[in-house]
Amino acid sequence: NWQRRQNANNNFTATIPYDMELQRKETKEMLDDLTTRDQRMMFGLVTLVHLADSKEQLDSDTETLYSTARKHLCQLSTLRWQQKDGLDTVLPYGLRKIQALRTLTTESTAVLIPFRAQEIMEPNGLYYGQNAVSKNMIVADRRLLLNGNSFRLGVSGSGKSMSAKEEIVQIALSTEDDILILDPESEFGYLTEALGGEVIRISATSDTHINALDMDRAYGDERNPIVSKSEFVLSLFEQLIGDGMVTAKEKSILGRCTEQVYLPYIRNGYKGTPPTLQDFYRLLQMQPEPEAQGLALSSELFITGTLNTFARHTNVDTQARIIAYDIRELGEQLMPLGM
């Protein structure tokens, strides 16, 4: 309008006054916030009441408040002849007697709400603690999250294991979910037994064996189980030989042997005893390529040698609902493979 008026007066070179330019810029920024930054426009009003014993003290406090607010780029204005309305607005009646509202974006409104707290209270959830701000219980169901993983951070002795055990007890008592515990410090055994679960102690010296090639029909989450097992065997040999040291030829041999070693088991409809790494080893030795002999040799210690814990038929019950794998005694050599 201002520009049009200037034009009507034949003042075509008029430049827009600075404060008008500034207003336009602020309006544009606000519109930008609303349209591109997903902000909403809110109406807000902040009223403060301060009291003093004398008028002088009150005025001096007012000045202090003004300058404090200015330091934070805020403008306060004193209510004149409206002090009772101001007081009514501040007191928690839910009345707003001051008819002044300012527009704010979501972002700037949120700054003014100091008691903002995110409550987590999900039906059928587990108790995870107390909300530090609102003091309400935190009840959550991790299974409903996009990613249900959780981890606990804290210094030694701060209660990480304790809180994990609390969660385990709650899951055991209130759901039908499976619980698998990998226990490198041998601390979950008593709890697991108390909950009726199975503790499996694995080490190079114990006579507990877990067959690394165990498989049932559901293995591999709806993918071809052989493909998943091939990947597993490959990663196993990468552990043994060194990451990236397995050549293309060796990979082909490993894939071929994996397929062959499962052939009888799969033909039998996933029934009977699954093959072991020892069967796999014998197959490797039967291959004509010299690379196969090299692979067999490099895996010998873990298959027919002394560290063959994972190369024999499983002789423990891995079907229990709650299982703790106690791997404290596994030792440095077997640990990567065991994990």
- Say how far apart CA 184 and CA 201 lie, in whole Å: 10
Q: Return the amino acid letter for 10.
A: N
Nearer to ligand ADP, 6 or 161 (CB): 161
Host H or E run for residue 167: helix 160-174
Q: Which does 228 bind (CB under 5 to 8 A by kind): ligand ADP, Mg ion, none?
A: none
Which residue among 123, 157, 244, 290 contacts ligand ADP (CB under 6 A)? 157
Which residue among 142, 160, 201, 251 contacts ligand ADP (CB under 6 A)? 160
Q: Which does 256 bind (CB under 5 to 8 A by kind): Mg ion, ligand ADP, none?
A: none
Q: Which residues contact 325 (CB under 8 A, 6 or more apart)?
A: 180, 181, 182, 183, 200, 202
Host H or E run for residue 250: helix 248-267
Nearer to ligand ADP, 171 or 254 (CB): 171
328 contacts ligand ADP (rule: CB under 6 A): no
CB atoms within 10 A of CB 19: 8
Host H or E run for residue 22: helix 18-36
Which residue among 131, 161, 208, 298 contacts ligand ADP (CB under 6 A)? 161
Nearer to Mg ion, 97 or 165 (CB): 165
Which residue among 11, 78, 158, 224 contacts ligand ADP (CB under 6 A)? 158
161 contacts Mg ion (rule: CB under 5 A): yes
- Say how far apart CA 239 and CA 231 lie, in whole Å: 12
235 contacts ligand ADP (rule: CB under 6 A): no
Nearer to Mg ion, 155 or 218 (CB): 155
Are 44 and 102 in contact by the 8 Å Cβ rule? The answer is: yes
Site stretch for ligand ADP (CB under 6 A), options 155-163, 173-181, 224-232, 264-272: 155-163
Here the tokens at position 45 are 């009003």
Q: Which residues contact 222 (CB under 8 A, 6 or more apart)?
A: none
Nearer to ligand ADP, 191 or 334 (CB): 191
339 contacts ligand ADP (rule: CB under 6 A): no
**Does residue 309 sit in helix, strand or coil?**
coil
From residue 135 to residue 154, the character string flagging contacts with ligand ADP as x (rule: CB under 6 A) and all else as - is -------------------x
- Say how far apart CA 325 and CA 124 lie, in whole Å: 28
Residues within the interface to ligand ADP (CB under 6 A)? 154, 156-162
Residues within the interface to Mg ion (CB under 5 A)? 161
